[in-house]
Amino acid sequence: MAKHKEGPLRPVFIRDTAPVEMDAAPGKYFWCACGRSRKAPFCDGSHHKTGIRPLRVVLEESARVWWCNCKHTSTPPWCDGTHHQLKGKEGQLAEERI
Ligand code: FES
């Protein structure tokens, strides 16, 4: 899944600087892309009126996954290690191309 880097800059919260590791069951998930959800790493509707939308993810089989929770990965929704560059900025707004 590639992130669209050509879009406008949008304010994204750095939710946390560690991914959420999970043994995920097959199914449909909505990954929070705005960093505002209280049910992170999943969407709770808090993106309303931000212009940022959650990313729909379908897992065909069970898998151990690492959901990005800093919201700045280049491989959404999966952690790519970018969070290491954001240590100490948890809870801050940072602009991101969506
Ligand atoms: S938690 Fe976002 S890149 Fe690792």
Mutating to test ligand 1, I would choose from 21, 69, 85, 87 the residue with most ligand atoms within 8 A of its C-beta, which is 69
pLDDT given at position 69:
95
Does residue 3 surpass a pLDDT of 90? no
Atom 4 (ligand 1): residue with closest C-alpha?
79
Measured from the Cα of 20, ligand 1's closest atom is 1
Give the CATH number for residue 64: 3.40.5
pLDDT of residue 11: 82
**pLDDT tens digits, residue range 11-70?**
888 999 999 999 999 999 999 999 999 999 999 999 998 889 999 999 999 999 999 999
35 within some domain: yes
Residue 66 lies in a domain: yes
45: phi > 0 → left, psi -120 to 50 → alpha, else beta; which? left
Residues sharing a CB contact under 8 Å with residue 21, sequence separation 6 or more, in sequence order: 64, 65, 66
Beta bridge partners of 72: none
85 Cβ contact partners less than 8 Å away, ≥ 6 residues apart:
none
pLDDT at 96 > cutoff 80: no
Residue-wise pLDDT tens digits, 71-81: 999 999 999 99
Pocket of ligand 1 (CB under 6 A): 19, 68-70, 72-73, 79-83
Per-residue pLDDT at 14: 92
Domain range for 36:
1-10+27-71
- Ligand 1 centre to CA of 71 (Å) is 7
